[in-house]
Every structure is written in C-alpha cells, then in structure tokens.
Amino acid sequence: MNRAWRARNHPAYWAFLVHRLSGLALAVFLPAHFLVLGQALRGEAGLEGALRWTDSPLVKVAEIAIVVLLAAHLTGGVRMLALEFLPWRDWQKSLAALAAGATVLFGLAFALALVGGG
Amino acid sequence: MSASLLQVRVWRGGATGAFRSYEVPRRESQTVLDVVTYIQRRLEPGLAYRFACRVGMCGSCAMTVNGVARWTCRTHVAKAVVHDTLEIAPLANLPVIRDLVTDMREFFDKWARAKGRFVPTATRRDDFAVVCPDRPERRAADAAIECIGCGVCYASCDVVRWNPAYLGPAALNRAWTLVNDVRDGDHRTRLAAVAGDAGCHACHTQMGCTERCPKEIAPTASIAGLKRATARAAVKGEL
C-alpha cells in the first residue's frame, strides 16, 4: 500500500472522501440537469427530445449513479451534523458505516424500482 | 517472527536528504525506538533523533513509521513492520532540522496562538476551587486533558498540510480543555482566537488526529465542541 495512503486509510477519511467527491460530482451534474430542464423554455419539442434521450439504457444506469451520489452526500451530511451537534460518543465508525449502508440501500432500492418498473 | 534481520530505511539529512538503509537484528518485544537506538549506537553514531522517557509520557519520540505518525517508544515493531521492512522518517507537517528531528516551535507557538494558557481568576490567598467531578465541563476537560504534545495528530492532519496557518488538533484540543475550565477567566479571548480562518471551523473532520492519537484522545470531539461554543458566542454577540 502506498505510504501516503496508509496514513489516511481509516473509515473517517473514506467518509470525508466520499462526501467531498460526491459533492463535486453533483456540482458537475447540476448544470447539465438545469440545461435539460431549460430546454422547456424553447418549447415542448426541445424538452421532449431531451427526455427521450434520458430513456436510453446508458442514461438509466447513470441515473442510479446519481441517486447513489445524492444518497452518499445526504447521509454523509447527516453524519457530519450528528458528529458536530450531538454529544460525542465512541460511535463515529458506526456512524460512517450507517451512512454507507443507507447509501447502498438507496442505490439498490432505486435500481430495483427501475428494473421492476421498467 | 519471520526474519532475524529487519531492513530499516531511515531519513538522513534535512528538508532535502534521502533514506539510507540499515540492517537491524529482530528482537522479541522490540519497539521502533529500540530499532532507532540500535542504529545510532551501533551503525550510525551521527543519527539525530529525540527521545526521553521511553514510556509514553514525554511525547518527544514521535516519528513517521511506514507512512504513519506514531510514538515510537510504545510502538512494537510487530505492529508497524511491513514485509520485514521499516521506513522511519521525521514527523510530517513540521520543518526537519536533521534526520529524525523536527522543529516543534510552530507546533507549540500555535498552542499560544490558541490561548492555551490558563488565566487564573483567584490568587494564592484564595481557597482551592471546588470543581465537582460530575460536572459536564469537568468531564469534557477530562476527556481531552491527557495530551502529551507529541505532535502525532498535527502530523496526521491534512488541513495543517493544506493550510499552514491552521492551529491544528493539539492546540485546539488544549483550548477546549480551558474553555471547559470553570476557574479560567478569559474564555471570550480564547473563543475569538480559535474562531478565525485558521481555527476550529477550518477542520474538515477527516479525524486523522483522533485515529492516530496515541493517548486515544479525540481532538475531533474537542474541535466540534469549539465549533458549537464559538457559534453560541457569535449568536450572543460575544465574538
């Protein structure tokens, strides 16, 4: 294992990385999201075209990734609030594990709904 | 024990230098400090390193061992060794004076900048202050008070690396003990000192300090406490 990573290889650092990277990825996604929604300003046809494009399987799979990113960022944020505002307990690693578990749950639920619904 | 010889790479030089390799006999219950001492006494008399108590009290022997900051006197080789190899370097985030010795001035200057000095409100003619051990403030101070100033948390903190002005976990932890000291008379100045850009709010909660502290203190908890205390003070208009 790389030495620089060895010092950082602990659950709280992973939680930090996941929270930060998911936030950055969502920040990159948001303008694209608004761009698609903005097609409505040019009329129904433009929006319809964009929405049809989102029906492609690749975009559907990417949607799961977006939901996982959202869930990771949300649960990471809740973890952070609990850590900073609740009285300190020796449960910080459990908190990170809980956030990770909830993220996977959200992702799976969405993926299953997509498959079941599709 | 898989091998009778340890391959040890030790940093030699100052900020610019290089690792030099040594072979050290493997012993039972050997600590990393034992290894460094063996090298200095038998192989490399010019090797500079710090230690004093050898029992985890003085906080002077911290080094980077295979990439992780540790107190070397209480770290068994078995815990840190990777493939019979040890790489021993000075603590990160501090200027290197020579070999394994770092300049700790900035580290301790930050304790002063965080107002880590007790400000008494009584004189020697007053009676002893009575602080109930069950008080929440006393318990919070107790949880953070055993710091030995070894610098392991400071060397393990990415925020210190990114923002050299950041006061760091040890200084903020010290400030938190005094914020909870009911005898102290200058809480407001201290909170103002730790509320700035380089203070508690700069912490990214990566918890490297809490993960690595050899005394099992949680500076992250102290920093979270300071964040709440400074926020409360700001709302009240005291900052």
What does the H/E/C string look like for B88-118? EECCCCCCEEECCEECCHHHHHHHHHCCCCC
A84 contacts B67? CB cut-off 8 A: no
Q: Write out the CATH class of domain A3-117.
A: mainly alpha
d(CA B163, CA A98): 31
What pLDDT is stored for residue B49 in this prediction? 98
For residue B235, pLDDT over 90 is answered with yes
Which residue in the set B156, B210, B224 is minimally distant from A84, CB to CB?
B224
Residue of A nearest to B226 (CA): A84
Q: Specify the residue for token string 């799976």.
A: A108
For residue B157, pLDDT over 60 is answered with yes
Helix (H) or strand (E) holding A32: helix A11-38
For residue A90, pLDDT over 80 is answered with no
Closest CA to B35 of B59, B58, B66: B66
Q: What percent of chain B is predicted at pLDDT more than 70?
A: 99
A12 contacts B205? CB cut-off 8 A: yes
What pLDDT is stored for residue B3 in this prediction? 54
Mean pLDDT of chain B: 96
- Contact at 8 Å (CB) between B68 and A7? yes
Could you tell me the fold of the domain covering B5-102? Ubiquitin-like (UB roll) (3.10.20)
**From the CB of residue B233, how many other CB atoms can be counted at a distance below 10 Å?**
17
For residue B118, pLDDT over 80 is answered with yes
Q: Which range among A18-27, A31-40, B118-127 shows the weakest confidence by mean pLDDT? A: A31-40
Could you tell me the fold of the domain covering B105-235? Fumarate Reductase Iron-sulfur Protein; Chain B, domain 2 (1.10.1060)
- Reported ipTM exceeds the 0.90 cut: no
* Lookup: tokens for B80: 């840190």
DSSP A70: H
The pLDDT-based confidence of B147 (bands split at 50, 70, 90) is: very high
Q: What percent of chain A is predicted at pLDDT more than 90?
A: 31
In chain B, what residues touch A80 (CB-CB under 8 Å)?
Answer: 205
A4 contacts B208? CB cut-off 8 A: no
For residue B2, pLDDT over 60 is answered with no
What pLDDT is stored for residue A118 in this prediction? 46
Smallest Cα distance from B158 to chain A, Å:
9
d(CA A30, CA A34): 6
For residue A115, pLDDT over 70 is answered with no
**Overall residue count recorded for chain B in this entry:** 239
The pLDDT-based confidence of A10 (bands split at 50, 70, 90) is: very high
| CB contact B70 to A (< 8 Å) | no
What pLDDT is stored for residue A35 in this prediction? 87
Which residue in the set B67, B221, B224 is minimally distant from A4, CB to CB?
B67
A80 contacts B205? CB cut-off 8 A: yes
**Residues in A lying within 8 Å of B, measured between beta carbons:** 2-8, 10, 12-13, 16, 80, 83-85, 88, 92
Q: Give the count of alpha carbons within 13 A of A51, CB side only.
A: 10
Q: What percent of chain A is predicted at pLDDT more than 70?
A: 95
Over residues A46-70, mean pLDDT: 87
| CB contact B206 to A (< 8 Å) | yes
The pLDDT-based confidence of A116 (bands split at 50, 70, 90) is: low
What pLDDT is stored for residue A45 in this prediction? 84
Which residue in the set B66, B204, B218 is minimally distant from A6, CB to CB?
B66
What lies within 8 Å, CB to CB, of B79 at 6+ separation is: none
Helix (H) or strand (E) holding A113: helix A92-117
A8 contacts B228? CB cut-off 8 A: no
Q: Specify the residue for token string 């906080």.
A: B59
Q: Which residues pair with B70 in a beta bridge?
A: B63
**CB-based contacts of A95-103 (< 8 A; 24+ apart in sequence):** A96/A11, A96/A12, A96/A14, A96/A15, A97/A11, A99/A15, A99/A72, A99/A75, A100/A15, A100/A18, A100/A75, A102/A71, A102/A75, A103/A18, A103/A68, A103/A71, A103/A72, A103/A75
For residue B110, pLDDT over 80 is answered with yes
In chain B, what residues touch A12 (CB-CB under 8 Å)?
Answer: 205-208, 210-211, 220
Over residues B181-193, mean pLDDT: 95
> Does the global pTM surpass 0.80?
yes
- Contact at 8 Å (CB) between B9 and B84? no
Smallest Cα distance from B239 to chain A, Å:
20
The pLDDT-based confidence of A50 (bands split at 50, 70, 90) is: confident
Strands B5-13 and B85-89, sheet pairing? parallel
Which residue in the set B156, B205, B220 is minimally distant from A7, CB to CB?
B156
Over residues B105-127, mean pLDDT: 96
Over residues B218-225, mean pLDDT: 96
Return the beta strands (E) in B99-209 as ranges: 101-102
* Lookup: tokens for A95: 């908190």
